Each structure stands twice: as C-alpha cells, then as structure tokens.
Amino acid sequence: MSQVAQRVQESMRVRMQDWLVRYGFIAVTVILFTWFILSEETFRQPSTLFSMLKFTSVVAIVGLGVTFTMVVGGLDLSVGSVAGLGVTVSAMMMVIYNLTGLFSGAMVLVAGAVVGIVNAILIVWMKIPDLLATLGMMFIIMGLKLLPVDGQSVSSKMILRDGTVAPGRFTDGFLQIDRLMIGIVPLPVVLWIVLTFIAWFMLTRTRYGRIMYAVGANPEAARLAGIRVEWYRASAYVISGLFAAIGGMILSSRIGQGDISAGNSLLLDAVAVALVGTSVLGIGKPNAWGTALGALLIGIVITGLTIKGFPYYAQDIAKGLVLVVALTFSFTLSRKKARFVPAT
C-alpha cells in the first residue's frame, strides 16, 4: 500500500474513532429505540412511553445528585439508602404521626440534607475516602431507618407497638406527587426535566458550577486560585442527599406505603446513569444532561426488554452492558483523558 493511502486510512480511522466517542452513545440510544418501536406494537403507544419516563425519573433524579459528587471528584454510595430513608420517613410522618403531606415531604428533604452534611463531615473534614465514608453511611441509614418502625413496613391501619391502630394514612396530596398529570406529562417526569435543567444551569452557567469543576479537575490548583475547596466538596454531598431525598419522595408516593426495602436497588442504577452520562457527546466529564440521557437509555433498554418478554434478570445484564459500552467510549476510544473516578 502506498504511504498516502496508508495515511488516508489512518486519518479515517481517527475520524471514525472521534465520531464514535462523540455520537456513539446517542447512536446506540437511537438504534435501540428505533428497533423497539418498529418491532413492538406496545412500545409505540404514548402511554407506554410516558410510563417508561415516569419509571425512569426516580433513578434519573437520584443520579443527578451523584453527578454533583462526581464533578468534585468523589462518589456518593449512600444515595439509594437515602431514598429508602425518604420512603420510611414520609410514611412514618403521615401514617404513625398523622401529619400533613407537606410537612412530611419537608421532613424527607431535611433527612436527605442531614445525611449529606454527615457525609461531608466524614469526607471533607475527617478525611475518610468518599467511597468508604458513604458506604458506611449506607449501612448505618439502612439499619437506622428501621429503628423507629421496629423493622416493619409502614402502611395505613397497621397495629402500632402499643396495640392501637395507626391514626393516619398517606394524604391525597402526597399521593398526587406521583399521579398528577401536567397536560399529558406525569409530574415526576416534569420534576426530572426541571431538576436536570436546574443542575445544568448551576453546573455550567454559574460561578458555583465553574468552581465545582475546578475542584474536581485539580484541587490543589483550585486552592491556590483562592478557592475553599472543602466547602465546595461538602456542598456536593448535601446536594446529593437532597436529590436522593426527592427521589425517595416520588418513590414513596408511588408505592403508597413505607416499604422498608424501597430504594435498595437504586444505588447501582443511579451511579450507573451518572457514569453513562459522562460519555454523552464525548464530554468525558460528569454533566447534568448526560445523566438524564443515560437514565433515558437505561429506561428504554429495560422497558424494551420487558415488553419483548425477556426474563427480569436480563435487565441487570443489559444495564451492565450499557455501562461498559459507555465507559469504553470515555476511556478506551476517547483521546481525551477521562477523569471522574474517585482516587480510592
């Protein structure tokens, strides 16, 4: 082969590679979506699509919180248990203490923020590596939330410790969080879009977001530019706790009772969508719309496989494959150096 031809082939290869890194993820999404649409009648109905989006919204919102911790170079493993805590707290407030839905929702947010603050203290000021601190918190929360409810799921008309019947129930208002439709769009989907927009705005358009990325990219250089690195890292964990709590609130409203196992499977999914999100458009960094698209892709895959009648365990295989393929775009094919994995 002549040298010129060789060089042309080489530059073709590089361009191919760059195209894959940029659009490979979106291409995979579109191809899968088209395949499901063409092959499955059910998949074509708007109701299927909206229920898919609704079902994905919780993972997506929790994943947004994880995105913030990844931006500062960390990772929050306690998000699934915080969402579960939200379910138990809201049920306890309404069913056992007969409080209003609004107050119960507020308490869920407070719980999420408190966990975030504790995570921040462990990681930023007590210098425990992110993964280990949040792993510890995950177990603590999973156990601690069962303490006031004696390890029982909380449902209306349950018998309490003193033999009486629980006085309250899930309020109608609270149940509307999951059920309300805005036009033809379910409220959780609207929340998902709004929160993604807010996160995107914070991370890319404000001073705060600029500093967050600086802290994640080079903490020492950020410090020498006058940034109080600790406070920004701490804020990421509080935001992560809040987003996880919002996810828990939607979940609680959907289940309509204080299921003690709720949220347990959320952690891996939420981390996965945030990781998948880094490869969207070859950005190579955690970002809000990427996380949203990552959640969407995983939602499409799971819904599609379910409709096609694959067994439930095929879902995990599919999620894992999506993650590995996405990471291949970021790490193997990209010529930029991907950097968002905590140093533990």
Partner 1 sequence: MNNSVEMKDISKSFGSNLVLRGVNLSVPAGKVTALLGANGAGKSTLIKILSGLYPDHGGSVLVNGSVATLDSPGTAKSQGIQTVHQRVDEAVVPGLSVAENLLFEKIATREKGTSGSLAKLLPEARKVAAALSLDWSDKFLRKDVYELDIADQQLLTLARAVVDKPSLLVLDEPTSALSASEVDNLMAVVRSLRDQGVGILYVSHRLSEVDALADHLVVLRDGVIRGEQDAPFAWNEALTQMLGDDAGDSASSAKEQRGSEDILTISGLKLFPRSAPFDLAIRSGEVTGVIGLLGAGKSETAEAMFGAGKSKPENMTLHNSEFKPTHPAKAIKRGVYLVPEDRAKLSMFADWSIQRTVTLPFLDQITRGFTLDNSREKKMGSDVIAELGVVAEGPAQPVDSLSGGNQQKVVVGRWLQGDPQVLVLDEPFRGVDIGARRTISAKARSLASQGRGVVVFTSEVDELLEVADRVIVMVDGEPRMDTYLSETNREEIVNTMSEVM
Q: What is the closest distance, in whole angstroms, from the C-beta atom of residue 339 to partner 1 in the complex?
A: 6
- Closest by CA to 83, choosing from 101, 109, 103, is 109
40 φ, ψ (degrees, to nearest 5): -125, 120
Q: What is the closest distance, in whole angstroms, from the C-beta atom of residue 39 to partner 1 in the complex?
A: 41
SS3 of 186, please?
Answer: strand
Q: What is the closest distance, in whole angstroms, from the C-beta atom of residue 330 to partner 1 in the complex?
A: 13
Q: What is the closest distance, in whole angstroms, from the C-beta atom of residue 234 to partner 1 in the complex?
A: 15
The CA radius of gyration of the chain, in Å to the nearest whole number, is 22
Cα angle 87, 93, 97 (rounded to 5 degrees) comes to: 150
Cα 85 from Cα 266, distance rounded (Å): 12
DSSP 311-333: -THHHHHHHHHHHHHHHIIIIII
Nearer to partner 1, 127 or 207 (CB): 207
Which residues of the shown chain bind partner 1 in the complex (CB under 8 A)? 205-207, 210-211, 213-214, 217-218, 220-228, 336-337, 339
- Closest by CA to 114, choosing from 301, 249, 240, is 240
Give residue 137's identity as a one-letter amino acid code: M
Whether the Cβ atoms of residue 104 and residue 168 lie closer than 8 Å to each other: no
Q: What is the closest distance, in whole angstroms, from the C-beta atom of residue 205 to partner 1 in the complex?
A: 5
- Burial of 284: CB neighbours in 10 Å, binned 0-12, 13-18, 19+: buried
CA-CA-CA-CA torsion sign (93, 99, 105, 111): negative
Q: What's the Cα-to-Cα distance from 184 to each of 187, 233, 304, 310, rounded to whole Å?
A: 10, 39, 21, 29
Q: What is the closest distance, in whole angstroms, from the C-beta atom of residue 336 to partner 1 in the complex?
A: 6
Nearer to partner 1, 172 or 220 (CB): 220
Q: What is the closest distance, in whole angstroms, from the C-beta atom of residue 218 to partner 1 in the complex?
A: 5
